[in-house]
Amino acid sequence: MAVKTEKKTPAKGTDKKIQDKKTLVIVESPAKAKTIEKYLGPSYSVKASMGHLIDLPKSRLAVDVVHDFEPEYITVRGRAKLLKELQDDAKKAGVVLLASDNDREGEAIAWHLRNAISAKTGAVPIQRISFNEITPLAIMSAVANPSGIDEAKVNAQKARRVLDRLVGYNLSPLLWKKVKNGLSAGRVQSVALRLICEREKEVESFIPEEYWTLEADFKAGKTTFTAQLVLWQDRKPELRSEAEVNAIKDQLSGTDCEVVDVRELEKTVRPKPPFTTSQLQQTAANRLGFTSKKTMQIAQQLYEGVNVGDSRVGLITYMRTDSVRISALALEDVRAWIGKQFPDELPDRPLEYALSKKAQDAHEAIRPTYTAYTPDEVKEYLSRDQLRLYTIIWERFVSSQMKNAKTKTVSADIQAGEGIFRVAGTQIIEKGFYKALKLLTSKEEKGNPYPNLKKGDHIRLDVFHPEQHFTQGPARYTDASIVKTLEERGIGRPSTYAPIISVLLERFYVTRSNRQLVPTQLGKIICDMLVEYFPHVVDAAFTASMESKLDEVEESHIRWPDMIREFYDPFKDRVDEVGKTLESFKGSLDEETGYTCEKCGKPLVKKLGRFGYFLACSGFPECRNTRSIPLAKCPRCGGDVVARKTRGRGKEFYGCTNYPECDFISHFKPINQKCPNCGNFMVEKYDKKNGSHKACINPDCDYLHSEDGEDIPDVE
């Protein structure tokens, strides 16, 4: 598909003399500049600001808490040269168009650039342009219809920046003074950390319980199928042991079986709306295994532009949005495409989706800019990850404007003695929007076959399939589930979900394990202190209310200094009170251990470091010996089990400190729980079928039996 470029229109309010000069367009990124420059041609110069050039300094608070919290802005260190270049370019230009992103951060960037350029040039007209997609039509329309800076949006960004600065620059020094140097606390990140820590407590306190299920193979003529026991003696079976299962098997062996009920249920399946930011991050995490950060990085590339044949085009619309709204032009485009490719699945009128109550609706939903750019059309121009993300965006958008699908589920109940076995199958009877899905195919579309049974049929029970299970505790948060929770609770906004997770990982308050977010010991300590002394700050409902107030600032309903003052005065009083009354934790986190340094003979103490607890010599700095913390007692020799790493890839495992005399190893991390049956330590295991679960390390123990590999890796 060829991209048509429209006739270039000069910005409104320009005279002949100004038109003789180039128009300077300032965007945020070089990739975006490269795409837009191809559309605008030689009479335009497109430069990139590379994000914020002016911001608060890092070295001090830089907020006047007495005079309406006025921020003290400076040129970001290392960015003065770039700012001067943009100012010099602006002097030579006829008009300056500020084309940063159409959100709070983008508006603030444009505001700072306008002020900095005006201070040096004075007479050059400076205008704001915004667009939701980087296509020739959208860019030309934006250039032809410039506007002024949205001061209310700038104020909302300023309020958020000042609010976060006040929290961080008051809490962080308190943590340095009372807990440990180098710590930091953020307003929204601390709430997310609290959610993760509270979930971890639920995970750690959960004790699995054994239960069994019973399936059986039945034969109806030449057909064999499997059904599950769903009722026993008119109640749902609660099978707690193999003995209970065997007792049922004994009663049912040789029993005549009859189909006593057959039910059919038709269901209408409505397509899902196009993606919002949070939904894209969740789906990319669940379907593609992407972290939130990776999803947004790739989406940014697709938005800013890629080379497709001889054209350079932004393939998707702006990727930070909480709206499912679609423009009239986009609806016309996708309906025309569906009408050609799937005419039977085109609804009579466009489908509409309700906005959530918290959606700001500043942008459209995330969608492809051109429906004709199907994944197959562009796959040779994209990397594997770009193609996969683009595919789910394209499929979700196109399917959202197609007819409903219909499924039929047939289930049959089979009487076997005092038990009822059930078999069910689902088939699609009208594909509808499923015709557009490949990568996003659901379980419903795949369906499962159903045996041809009629009420009154007599069938034969062939083979039993008992299976042991263990109850699953609450699942740790993943990128997908924490984003979903943050969105549901109104914490953060589309632009902040990925940074929230990234900050927690960078500070080592949280680590990733099997895609799960696990708080570190350091993260737990920080969380516990904030919850005890600043419960208001880390309260999810309070943080959500602050987000709502920031929205009110953007809507010009309240003054941002008033909003900050309402929060800051009681917060600062509390910080001062805690600073005076709270005893320092410094040194108290160091614990005597009873271990002796093998190098100098002095006691080893347990210390908290950036990556968690470790053993260190009390003779520091003269002796710098350190060791790993013992996690459990070796079940073979009684030595200490510690974390070790293999050579090469550095994969972590857990082995006895008496190696090579004792060759015990475990590939699963010991946890602070003993097996109630044999007293050996428990480990945390993970597999795709059961997720995270606990198991006894003793292979001879029948409580949550665990099999460990016996191969001993090369140890560093």
Share of the chain residues as helix, strand and coil, in percent rounded to the nearest 5: 35, 25, 40
Catalytic residue chosen out of the listed positions 44, 303, 318, 390: 318
**Token duo for residue 309:** 């044949």
Q: Output DSSP code: residue 525.
A: H
Torsional class of 492: left (φ above 0), alpha (ψ -120 to 50), beta (otherwise): left
If you ran DSSP here, which 8-state letter would residue 364 be given? P
H-helix or E-strand containing 474? none
d(CA 34, CA 351): 35
3-state helix/strand/coil string of 252-303: HCCCEEEEEEEEEEEEEECCCCCECHHHHHHHHHHHHCCCHHHHHHHHHHHH
d(Cα 495, Cα 319) in Å, to the nearest integer?
9
- 536/525 Cα distance (integer angstroms): 17
The CA distances from residue 496 to 294, 301, 355, 483, 552, in Å, are 14, 18, 20, 10, 18
Contact 92, 135 (CB under 8 A): no
| φ and ψ of 286, to 5 deg | -75, -40
**461 three-state secondary structure:** strand
> For residue 181, what are the CA distances in angstroms to 215, 503, 585?
58, 18, 11
Beta-bridge partners for 150: none
What 8-state DSSP symbol labels residue 381?
G
Reply yes or no on whether 318 is catalytic: yes
- The candidate with the shortest Cα–Cα distance to 406, out of 304, 305, 512, 264, is 264
Query: Which sequence positions are flagged as catalytic?
Result: 318
